Amino acid sequence: MTQSQTVTVRIMDKDYHIACPAQESENLERAAEYLDKKMRGIRRSGKVIGAERIAVMAALNITYELHSKEHQEQSNQAHTEQVQGLLERVQESLEGTE
């Protein structure tokens, strides 16, 4: 059974006490630091006012980053498969000419 612990993270000068598995506390702290950085950047831009709106914009930005990364990984996988297919065809052609 996984032991749970309470981790305190600070996001935009406010403390949040969050329960998480002990082995995940470092990941939670890094995630909170990343979120804090994103939210502060949005607040500094001056285009969005209010903690809730800043949080929503940060969530959208982070989700977009993750989605873009997943799309890029899928695209890379498709290209890798195409190249492997071409290499196999070239290899078959070379073997047929021997």
Domain extent for 58: 4-96
DSSP state of 23: G
When divided into structural domains, the chain yields a total of: 1
pLDDT tens series, the chain, 98 aa: 568 899 999 999 999 999 999 899 999 999 999 999 999 999 999 888 899 999 999 999 999 999 888 778 788 787 787 878 777 777 777 777 65
The residues near 3 (Cβ < 8 Å, ≥ 6 apart) are 21, 22
Q: What is the pLDDT of residue 86?
A: 77
Cα separation, 48 vs 45, in Å, equals 7
Give the CATH number of the domain where residue 72 resides. Answer: 3.30.160.880
Torsion over CA of 65, 71, 77 and 78, rounded to 10 degrees?
-160
